[in-house]
Protein backbone atom coordinates (compact mmCIF):
# COMPACT_ATOMS: atom_id res chain seq x y z
CA UNK A 1 0.00 0.00 0.00
CA UNK A 2 1.32 3.42 -0.90
CA UNK A 3 -0.81 5.96 1.00
CA UNK A 4 -2.79 5.51 4.19
CA UNK A 5 -5.22 8.29 5.11
CA UNK A 6 -6.58 8.43 8.65
CA UNK A 7 -9.72 10.53 9.09
CA UNK A 8 -11.90 11.83 11.91
CA UNK A 9 -15.26 13.45 11.19
CA UNK A 10 -18.45 14.63 12.90
CA UNK A 11 -20.60 15.70 9.98
CA UNK A 12 -18.82 14.29 6.96
CA UNK A 13 -16.80 17.27 5.69
CA UNK A 14 -13.52 15.59 6.59
CA UNK A 15 -14.65 12.20 5.31
CA UNK A 16 -15.66 13.76 1.99
CA UNK A 17 -12.29 15.57 1.77
CA UNK A 18 -10.40 12.36 2.58
CA UNK A 19 -12.39 10.45 -0.05
CA UNK A 20 -11.78 13.01 -2.76
CA UNK A 21 -8.09 13.05 -1.95
CA UNK A 22 -7.89 9.25 -2.05
CA UNK A 23 -9.63 9.20 -5.45
CA UNK A 24 -6.89 11.42 -6.86
CA UNK A 25 -4.00 9.43 -5.41
CA UNK A 26 -2.65 6.17 -6.69
CA UNK A 27 -3.27 3.23 -4.34
CA UNK A 28 -4.60 5.10 -1.29
CA UNK A 29 -6.61 3.55 1.54
CA UNK A 30 -8.91 5.31 4.02
CA UNK A 31 -9.02 4.37 7.69
CA UNK A 32 -11.26 5.99 10.32
CA UNK A 33 -9.39 7.04 13.47
CA UNK A 34 -12.50 5.99 15.39
CA UNK A 35 -12.09 2.41 16.53
CA UNK A 36 -8.71 1.95 14.79
CA UNK A 37 -6.91 -0.75 16.71
CA UNK A 38 -3.85 -1.23 14.50
CA UNK A 39 -1.86 1.72 15.77
CA UNK A 40 0.98 1.44 13.33
CA UNK A 41 1.06 2.87 9.85
CA UNK A 42 2.72 -0.32 8.61
CA UNK A 43 4.37 -0.28 5.23
CA UNK A 44 2.63 2.83 3.83
CA UNK A 45 5.17 5.19 2.32
CA UNK A 46 2.84 8.18 2.82
CA UNK A 47 0.49 8.77 5.74
CA UNK A 48 -2.15 11.50 5.94
CA UNK A 49 -4.36 12.90 8.67
CA UNK A 50 -7.70 14.51 7.77
CA UNK A 51 -9.70 16.07 10.58
CA UNK A 52 -11.87 19.11 11.45
CA UNK A 53 -10.50 22.17 13.24
CA UNK A 54 -12.13 22.40 16.68
CA UNK A 55 -11.79 25.60 18.69
CA UNK A 56 -8.85 26.75 16.58
CA UNK A 57 -6.81 23.63 17.05
CA UNK A 58 -6.63 19.85 16.74
CA UNK A 59 -9.54 17.95 18.37
CA UNK A 60 -8.47 16.05 21.52
CA UNK A 61 -9.22 12.56 20.09
CA UNK A 62 -7.07 13.35 17.04
CA UNK A 63 -4.18 14.47 19.27
CA UNK A 64 -4.49 11.22 21.24
CA UNK A 65 -4.71 9.09 18.10
CA UNK A 66 -1.63 10.60 16.48
CA UNK A 67 0.36 10.42 19.72
CA UNK A 68 -0.36 6.68 19.95
CA UNK A 69 0.34 5.97 16.28
CA UNK A 70 3.67 4.40 15.48
CA UNK A 71 5.31 6.12 12.49
CA UNK A 72 8.64 5.77 10.71
CA UNK A 73 10.81 8.93 10.22
CA UNK A 74 11.18 8.24 6.49
CA UNK A 75 7.38 8.20 5.91
CA UNK A 76 6.01 11.18 3.96
CA UNK A 77 3.44 12.84 6.30
CA UNK A 78 0.68 15.23 5.26
CA UNK A 79 -2.53 16.66 6.72
CA UNK A 80 -5.77 18.37 5.77
CA UNK A 81 -7.26 20.63 8.47
CA UNK A 82 -10.91 20.94 7.47
CA UNK A 83 -12.46 24.13 8.78
CA UNK A 84 -15.04 26.88 8.34
CA UNK A 85 -12.60 29.69 7.59
CA UNK A 86 -10.43 29.90 10.71
CA UNK A 87 -7.67 27.32 10.51
CA UNK A 88 -5.60 29.45 12.89
CA UNK A 89 -2.54 27.56 14.18
CA UNK A 90 -3.91 24.02 13.80
CA UNK A 91 -1.39 22.75 11.25
CA UNK A 92 1.52 24.44 13.04
CA UNK A 93 0.39 22.63 16.19
CA UNK A 94 0.48 19.33 14.30
CA UNK A 95 3.86 20.07 12.76
CA UNK A 96 5.30 20.82 16.23
CA UNK A 97 3.68 17.74 17.74
CA UNK A 98 5.27 15.50 15.13
CA UNK A 99 8.62 17.33 15.27
CA UNK A 100 8.74 16.52 18.99
CA UNK A 101 8.93 12.86 17.94
CA UNK A 102 11.55 13.44 15.25
CA UNK A 103 8.92 13.33 12.48
CA UNK A 104 8.31 15.85 9.69
CA UNK A 105 4.93 17.10 8.53
CA UNK A 106 5.83 17.65 4.87
CA UNK A 107 2.59 19.31 3.79
CA UNK A 108 -0.45 20.78 5.57
CA UNK A 109 -3.51 22.15 3.76
CA UNK A 110 -6.47 24.14 5.04
CA UNK A 111 -9.75 23.05 3.42
CA UNK A 112 -12.68 25.40 3.99
CA UNK A 113 -16.17 23.86 4.01
CA UNK A 114 -19.52 24.84 5.60
CA UNK A 115 -19.57 25.24 9.38
CA UNK A 116 -21.12 22.47 11.45
CA UNK A 117 -20.80 24.47 14.68
CA UNK A 118 -24.52 24.78 15.25
CA UNK A 119 -24.36 26.65 18.60
CA UNK A 120 -23.14 29.66 16.59
CA UNK A 121 -25.81 29.35 13.90
CA UNK A 122 -26.44 27.20 10.88
CA UNK A 123 -24.13 26.37 7.98
CA UNK A 124 -25.05 29.52 6.03
CA UNK A 125 -27.08 29.98 2.85
CA UNK A 126 -27.07 27.16 0.31
CA UNK A 127 -25.27 29.28 -2.31
CA UNK A 128 -22.38 29.93 0.08
CA UNK A 129 -22.20 26.27 1.06
CA UNK A 130 -22.14 25.19 -2.59
CA UNK A 131 -19.45 27.77 -3.38
CA UNK A 132 -17.29 26.47 -0.53
CA UNK A 133 -17.72 22.88 -1.64
CA UNK A 134 -16.81 23.78 -5.24
CA UNK A 135 -13.71 25.69 -4.10
CA UNK A 136 -12.73 22.81 -1.82
CA UNK A 137 -12.86 20.40 -4.79
CA UNK A 138 -10.24 22.52 -6.56
CA UNK A 139 -8.13 22.84 -3.42
CA UNK A 140 -8.21 19.08 -2.93
CA UNK A 141 -7.11 18.50 -6.48
CA UNK A 142 -4.14 20.83 -5.97
CA UNK A 143 -3.31 19.20 -2.62
CA UNK A 144 -3.43 15.74 -4.23
CA UNK A 145 -0.95 16.84 -6.90
CA UNK A 146 1.49 18.08 -4.21
CA UNK A 147 1.09 14.89 -2.21
CA UNK A 148 1.49 12.64 -5.25
CA UNK A 149 4.71 14.53 -6.08
CA UNK A 150 5.82 14.13 -2.42
CA UNK A 151 6.33 17.88 -2.24
CA UNK A 152 7.28 19.64 1.00
CA UNK A 153 6.53 23.18 2.07
CA UNK A 154 5.32 25.37 4.92
CA UNK A 155 1.95 24.39 6.38
CA UNK A 156 -1.01 26.73 5.88
CA UNK A 157 -2.03 28.94 8.80
CA UNK A 158 -4.35 31.80 9.75
CA UNK A 159 -3.29 35.43 10.35
CA UNK A 160 -1.09 36.29 13.34
CA UNK A 161 -3.90 37.88 15.41
CA UNK A 162 -5.94 34.70 15.04
CA UNK A 163 -3.04 32.46 16.01
CA UNK A 164 -2.32 34.52 19.15
CA UNK A 165 -5.86 35.15 20.40
CA UNK A 166 -7.44 31.83 19.53
CA UNK A 167 -4.59 29.55 20.53
CA UNK A 168 -5.03 30.91 24.05
CA UNK A 169 -8.73 29.99 23.94
CA UNK A 170 -7.91 26.53 22.56
CA UNK A 171 -5.55 25.91 25.47
CA UNK A 172 -8.04 27.23 28.04
CA UNK A 173 -10.98 25.17 26.79
CA UNK A 174 -9.19 21.94 25.81
CA UNK A 175 -9.74 20.19 29.15
CA UNK A 176 -13.34 21.37 29.44
CA UNK A 177 -14.53 19.74 26.20
CA UNK A 178 -15.69 16.42 27.77
CA UNK A 179 -18.18 18.22 30.03
CA UNK A 180 -19.51 20.61 27.36
CA UNK A 181 -22.29 18.10 26.69
CA UNK A 182 -24.18 19.48 29.70
CA UNK A 183 -25.94 21.85 27.28
CA UNK A 184 -27.43 19.03 25.16
CA UNK A 185 -31.07 18.14 25.67
CA UNK A 186 -33.74 16.36 23.72
CA UNK A 187 -37.26 17.47 22.80
CA UNK A 188 -40.49 15.52 22.37
CA UNK A 189 -39.81 14.60 18.76
CA UNK A 190 -37.37 11.88 19.92
CA UNK A 191 -38.65 8.43 18.87
CA UNK A 192 -35.92 6.47 20.70
CA UNK A 193 -34.32 5.23 17.45
CA UNK A 194 -30.85 5.11 19.06
CA UNK A 195 -29.02 6.68 16.11
CA UNK A 196 -27.42 9.27 18.38
CA UNK A 197 -25.96 6.42 20.47
CA UNK A 198 -24.55 4.69 17.38
CA UNK A 199 -23.12 7.78 15.70
CA UNK A 200 -21.26 9.05 18.79
CA UNK A 201 -17.52 8.29 18.45
CA UNK A 202 -16.99 8.61 22.20
CA UNK A 203 -19.68 6.18 23.45
CA UNK A 204 -20.92 9.25 25.30
CA UNK A 205 -24.67 8.69 24.88
CA UNK A 206 -26.98 6.05 26.30
CA UNK A 207 -30.75 5.78 26.20
CA UNK A 208 -32.32 6.11 29.63
CA UNK A 209 -36.07 5.73 29.74
CA UNK A 210 -36.00 5.88 25.92
CA UNK A 211 -34.27 9.27 25.82
CA UNK A 212 -30.58 10.11 25.25
CA UNK A 213 -28.40 10.87 28.26
CA UNK A 214 -24.95 12.40 27.82
CA UNK A 215 -22.14 10.96 29.96
CA UNK A 216 -19.60 13.82 30.06
CA UNK A 217 -16.88 12.31 27.93
CA UNK A 218 -17.95 14.35 24.89
CA UNK A 219 -15.64 15.22 21.99
CA UNK A 220 -17.92 18.06 20.73
CA UNK A 221 -17.95 16.58 17.22
CA UNK A 222 -21.68 17.46 17.05
CA UNK A 223 -22.56 14.25 15.20
CA UNK A 224 -25.47 13.55 17.59
CA UNK A 225 -27.25 16.87 17.10
CA UNK A 226 -26.58 17.02 13.35
CA UNK A 227 -27.53 13.42 12.46
CA UNK A 228 -30.63 12.94 14.66
CA UNK A 229 -33.32 12.18 12.03
CA UNK A 230 -36.01 13.86 14.13
CA UNK A 231 -33.89 16.97 14.82
CA UNK A 232 -34.86 16.34 18.43
CA UNK A 233 -31.45 17.06 19.97
CA UNK A 234 -30.78 20.65 21.00
CA UNK A 235 -27.78 22.51 22.42
CA UNK A 236 -28.62 25.45 24.67
CA UNK A 237 -31.60 27.63 23.81
CA UNK A 238 -31.17 28.66 20.18
CA UNK A 239 -30.72 25.47 18.18
CA UNK A 240 -34.46 24.69 17.69
CA UNK A 241 -34.40 27.57 15.17
CA UNK A 242 -31.17 26.54 13.42
CA UNK A 243 -30.85 24.33 10.37
CA UNK A 244 -29.06 20.98 10.71
CA UNK A 245 -26.04 20.23 8.54
CA UNK A 246 -24.02 17.35 7.24
CA UNK A 247 -22.01 17.18 4.04
CA UNK A 248 -24.53 16.62 1.21
CA UNK A 249 -22.58 13.68 -0.26
CA UNK A 250 -22.15 11.83 3.03
CA UNK A 251 -24.97 9.65 4.37
CA UNK A 252 -25.67 8.20 7.81
CA UNK A 253 -24.47 4.75 6.71
CA UNK A 254 -21.00 6.22 6.03
CA UNK A 255 -20.88 7.47 9.61
CA UNK A 256 -21.88 4.11 11.08
CA UNK A 257 -19.32 2.03 9.15
Ligand X SMILES: Cc1cc2nc3c(=O)[nH]c(=O)nc-3n(C[C@H](O)[C@H](O)[C@H](O)COP(=O)(O)O)c2cc1C
Which of 18, 91, 92, 233 is the binder for ligand SF4 (CB under 6 A)?
233
Q: What DSSP string runs through 128-160?
A: HHHHHHHHHHHHHHHHHHHHHTT---PPP---H
232 near ligand SF4, rule: CB under 6 A: yes
Q: Of 19, 18, 9, whose CA–CA distance to 53 is shortest?
A: 9
Calpha distance 232→234 (Å, rounded): 6
Among ligand X, ligand SF4, none, partner that 83 touches (CB below 5 to 8 angstroms by kind)? ligand X
Q: How far is CA 221 from CA 25, 55, 138, 201, in A?
A: 28, 11, 26, 8
255 near ligand SF4, rule: CB under 6 A: no
Among ligand SF4, ligand X, none, partner that 155 touches (CB below 5 to 8 angstroms by kind)? none
Among ligand SF4, ligand X, none, partner that 25 touches (CB below 5 to 8 angstroms by kind)? none
Cβ-count burial of 40 within 10 angstroms (0-12 exposed, 13-18 middle, 19+ buried)?
exposed
Site for ligand SF4 in 98-117 (CB under 6 A): none
Among ligand SF4, ligand X, none, partner that 232 touches (CB below 5 to 8 angstroms by kind)? ligand SF4
Calpha distance 86→6 (Å, rounded): 22
Q: In terms of CB distance, is 18 or 196 closer to ligand SF4?
A: 196
CB of 47 to ligand X, least distance (A): 19
User: Which residues of the shown chain bind ligand SF4 in the complex (CB under 6 A)?
Assistant: 181, 186, 190-196, 199-202, 204-205, 212, 214, 218-224, 228, 230, 232-233
Amino acid sequence: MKTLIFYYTGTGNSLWSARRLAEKLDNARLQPMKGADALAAGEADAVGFVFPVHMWGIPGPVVEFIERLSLRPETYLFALAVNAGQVSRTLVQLREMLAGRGLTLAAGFSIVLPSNYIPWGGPGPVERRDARIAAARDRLEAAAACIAGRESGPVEKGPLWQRIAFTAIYKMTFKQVPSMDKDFWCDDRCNSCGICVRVCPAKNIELRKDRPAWLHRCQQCLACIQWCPQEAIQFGKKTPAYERYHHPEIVLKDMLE
